[in-house]
Amino acid sequence: MSKDFTSFEQDAGVAFNDLNLLRQAFTHRSYLNEHRGEVSGHNERLEFLGDAVLELISTHYLYEKYPQQAEGELTAYRAALVNAVTLSEVAAGLGMNDYLLLSRGEAKDNGRARGVLLANAFEALIGAIYLDQGYDGAKEFITKHLFPKIDEILSKRLWQDAKSALQEKAQDTEGVTPSYSVIRESGPDHDKQFVVGVYVRETLLGQGEGKSKQEAEQAAARAALASLSA
């Protein structure tokens, strides 16, 4: 295999006992079709596990860090911390894009879809670390690489309901309520990815991606708010 995952280990500050788990975390389903027998499996099951581990560790962290905050605000903080946008940013910062194992077709797409792949791979990596090193190993990695994002999330108020903020802005300036429409959906039933556009009248203000329509709508609203304030 051409990828040198020991370099990633050094850069990310993690050392695997089972390198096959690390390889699998970076392996997209599409890669198997072109490289049968080279790797044992793709990363979707690890992603499923990592998502749950990430949510538990993040919930515990926020519960301890903000003892005065109500459940609703903590839920909003967590949603902003573990959404696809934040995870893909952290994954990109770790250089994970250089290690993704993709089909030739997937490798050509460097647009929005790549961000979703990176977020999925980050969750799969968390699942792999959990299996390889247990809860404490996963917690150490998440604490080091993801939790520093919470300061930016709070300072920029990224945890707030972007759809409500955009609706208020659009009604003030245009006198209308934004509408949302699914532009595209992909992936198997257990791992759907949605691309949603937000419109004012017929004008597309922003697009967003997510694992649910609601998450994609929030991402689209954040993109629209960013473009309106630029």
Q: Which of 47, 123, 215, 217 is catalytic?
A: 123
Determine phi and psi for 186, rounding to 5 degrees.
-150, 170
Q: Which of 44, 47, 51, 217 is catalytic?
A: 51
Write down the H helix ranges in 66-198: 71-81, 84-93, 104-108, 112-145, 149-155, 162-173
Asked if residues 57 and 142 have their Cβ atoms less than 8 Å apart, the reply is yes
Task: Count the Cβ atoms, other than its own, within 10 Å of residue 164.
Answer: 11
Q: Is 199 left (phi over 0), alpha (psi -120 to 50) or beta?
A: beta
Backbone Cα Rg of the chain: 19
Angle ∠(193,23,100) on CA atoms, nearest 5: 50
Q: How many residues does the chain have?
A: 230
The answer to whether 217 is a known catalytic residue is no
The answer to whether 89 is a known catalytic residue is no
Distances (CA, A) of 159 to 103, 150, 191: 35, 9, 24
Annotated active-site positions, please? 51, 123
